[in-house]
Amino acid sequence: MNFKILLRLLPLALVCLSSLHALQLSNRTGSTIEVEILAIEAERIQIQMSNGQITWLQRERLSDDSQALIASQATEEREVYLTINSLLGIDLFADSQLWDDSVDHVAERLHWPQESETAYQTSYRYYPPSEYRILDTRPYSAVLYGHSGKPQRISIVFANKGDFPFSDPPSTNEIATMEQAIEQDVEHLQALLSQQFGEPERQQYGAGRGIKQLIERWDWKGHAFLLAAQDGEYTNLKIIPTDLADNKGRGDKLSDASLRQLTTENIVHVPNGDVFINNIPMVNQGPKGYCVPATFERYLRYMQIPADMYILAMAGQTAIGGGTSLSQTIESIDGYVSSHNRSMKKINREIKLRTVQKYIDRGLPIIWTMFSSRDYNEFVNERSIQRLQTSHWDEWKTRCKDESRKVELRKDFLSAHACMIIGYNKETEEVAVSDSWGPNYALRWVPVDQAEQVSQGSIYLIEF
């Protein structure tokens, strides 16, 4: 943009950008302008003018004094973000703007492994060893979420009820130690963040009973650091864009028409008769009993609703050691989903192909409550491997019919589980199942009769 045009865009009486740390810059003809510098690159700078307009300006067009000022500010900003990296204990920032980085590059700097990748969403989740530290505090889970190739948000969970080590049954001393660890983590994180960024603001974050949080917030150059804690439950730090924090964590709402187009575009038809839903994010729940919140995180993110399985777990009254209450989780999620103009639906009926087909053909996954016994998993794992290797589908169809008649799987009531049904095949009478245990469990095929044998009798949907 021409420098003189920039000047004409400003009101005659320039409003001082003192709240934005304004700088006065001049070009080589002596024209001046007051701006906030948002980003500094080798050949250009991004500026915000007093009227709020944001644009890029070539550095070579600036006067020598202004170029020296830019260089000085670049040095100062580098010292600041390196100080923040040192405070965090991780190489999060490569400059003063995280949100325009490549999410892959951020993950590489952090050394956090990829958990999931779809056409538009990525996640990198790290369950670190006990000696790993962020903000001089032990994290139990750290996840970087990306959208369209850019970082979207970061969630770090410190001491919490689900991950804390306990005996079976837990002792009174172990419970007290966990509660003390949560309290100490909160106090330590508060002190470090306040020392760097000043006193926090308090505000509400999220929506829905059990999901809404009271957080402490620190802002720095478009980054909001949100610290949330609940006594005896968890300590959580989020790093998100300030505009998302201003909106209390609610992302952009899609219209019904836009979401319908998105979900139907994710339906895959394979020549062998397989029909399944693609682009469902994977979440690895880890070694704890987080199948319900992990599965709902996947579903919510698929529906373009931000979600974090740890917050969903706490809303579901996580038990010591990680077990979650389905009914409590559903009740809490229902309000959160409603705030995004969507609705929860529970259906009590047998697992039948016509029921599965009805929803899969709309691009809607099905949350399925079932019993995931050892016998069930051995049966499903073996046949899913063999299914990948087959090219004779008439023979496979015959095998499926034989299995439906001969295989009897018992309900193991100690193995209650929640996962997704994401597809079906009418010819072979199978359903496609996806578990929140990592990519190896993203797609397995089960004869519908055997699925019904281990079903708890209820399925859940998020509709629009």
pLDDT of 443 = 96
C-alpha distances in Å from residue 112, one per residue of 108, 124, 129, 270: 7, 6, 12, 34
pLDDT of 53 = 87
pLDDT of 11 = 33
Tell me the DSSP string of 84-117.
Answer: HHHHHTS---SSS-STTS-HHHHHHHHTPPEEEE
CB atoms within 10 A of CB 440: 11
Walking along the chain (464 residues) 10 residues at a time, the average pLDDT comes out as 41 32 83 84 85 88 88 84 96 94 97 96 96 97 96 96 84 92 96 96 81 90 94 92 88 83 95 97 86 92 91 70 66 81 90 96 96 96 95 95 94 93 97 94 96 95 89
DSSP conformation class of 259 = H
Cβ(204)–Cβ(213) below 8 Å: yes
pLDDT of 324 = 59
pLDDT of 249 = 78
Show the domains of the chain with their CATH numbers. Answer: 3-85 (2.30.30.700), 98-246 (no CATH), 256-281+342-463 (3.90.70)
pLDDT of 4 = 43
pLDDT of 5 = 39
Phi-psi sector, 126: left (phi>0), alpha (psi -120 to 50), beta: beta
pLDDT of 231 = 82
Cβ(324)–Cβ(318) below 8 Å: yes
pLDDT of 17 = 32
pLDDT of 321 = 55
